[in-house]
Amino acid sequence: MPKSWSASILTLFPEMFPGPLGQSLAGKALSEGLWSLEATDIREFAAGKHRQVDDTPAGGGAGMVMRPDVAAAAIDAARSKNPDASTIYLTPRGAPLVQARVRELASGTGVILLCGRFEGLDQRVIEARDLEEISLGDYVLSGGEVAAMALVEAAVRLLPGVVGAAKSLDEESFEQGLLEYPHYTRPRAWEGREIPDVLLSGDHGEIARWRAEQAQKITKERRPDLWERRKKS
């Protein structure tokens, strides 16, 4: 069992890590041992002189497909180090990543993230290894590495001790099923625009009500899907 939350990245480009994960809050937490990161080259598990990790798609078609034997070997090796970690395949056809799932992942022992490349991954290894398929959004990237970084950062910032004022996490977008209210700071007037009077009133009850109203208003306007889901729940 790992001593800290761990992220195991299975990728064809391990040199891309830690990348942004080595900076700011995530990087500081990494250096302090609050979480650990291991980027493993999938090619290490390929046989033969050329370490081939892909092959032509069965049935024909463009592109190449990642081989199930190579991917499975990489997954099994990562699982042997953290058997309780959630194993995720990052792919455009996966379920959208939402804050509730991020919070669940952050509460576990860590994640094993398989970064997709080529035309995708052989379906048999997805089924045989019971991979959870997750998407960052309705668009296509060249590979899963950027998505892996986003998922890891979203989870790491929820780990105890990473964010200084942990209470601030409770009011962020999506935590209450709403988008976050607007923020202001000095100067009081800037290019003819004033900070709303209520925020300078010192009345914490009124400030809380104003922020709640703004969060609801913004969510209704920008994410009616979130608003409808909130109403139903």
Q: What is the pLDDT, as a whole number, of residue 7?
A: 98
Report the alpha-carbon distance of residue 210 to residue 197 in Å, rounded: 11
Cα dihedral 42, 48, 54, 59 sign: negative
The CA-based dihedral angle spanning residues 86, 73, 151, 91, taken in that order and rounded to the nearest 10 degrees? -110
pLDDT of 90 reads 97
Last residue of a domain, one of 131, 156, 181: 156
Note down the domain range covering 59: 5-156
Q: What is the pLDDT of residue 215?
A: 95
What are the residue ranges in the chain where pLDDT is below 50? Answer: 1-2
Are residues 128 and 98 part of one domain?
Answer: yes
Q: Which of 172, 180, 171, 101 is nearest to 136 (CA)?
A: 101
> So what's the pLDDT on residue 170?
64
Residue 198 is assigned to a structural domain of this protein: yes
Q: Could you give the angle at which helices 145-156 and 99-106 cross, rounded to 10 degrees?
A: 70
Other Cβ atoms within 10 Å of 68 Cβ, number: 18
CATH of the domain at 143: 3.40.1280.10
* Neighbouring residues of 171: CB distance < 8 A, sequence distance ≥ 6: 180, 181, 211
How far apart (Å, rounded) are the C-alpha atoms in residues 155 and 114?
Answer: 16
Structural domain includes residue 161: no
Say if strands 65-66 and 54-55 run parallel, antiparallel, or are unpaired: antiparallel
Note whether 184 and 117 are same-domain residues: no
DSSP state of 144: S
Q: In whole angstroms, what is the distance from residue 6 CA to residue 222 CA?
A: 35
pLDDT value of residue 171: 62
Q: How far apart are CA 50 and CA 14, in angstroms?
A: 18
27: number of Cβ within 10 Å: 15
What is the reported pLDDT for 169?
Answer: 67
One domain for residues 11 and 113: yes
The pLDDT, as a whole number, for residue 174 is 76
- Tell me what percent of the chain is helix, strand and coil, each rounded to the nearest 5: 40, 20, 40
Q: What total of structural domains would you count in the chain?
A: 2
Measured CA to CA, the distance from residue 78 to residue 65 in angstroms comes to 21
Q: Look at residue 2 in the predicted model and tell me its pLDDT.
A: 47
Q: Please check whether residue 150 is in contact with residue 136, taking contact to mean a CB–CB distance below 8 angstroms.
A: yes
Say what the pTM is.
0.89
Residue 54 falls inside a structural domain: yes
Q: Among 124, 156, 188, which residue terminates a domain?
A: 156
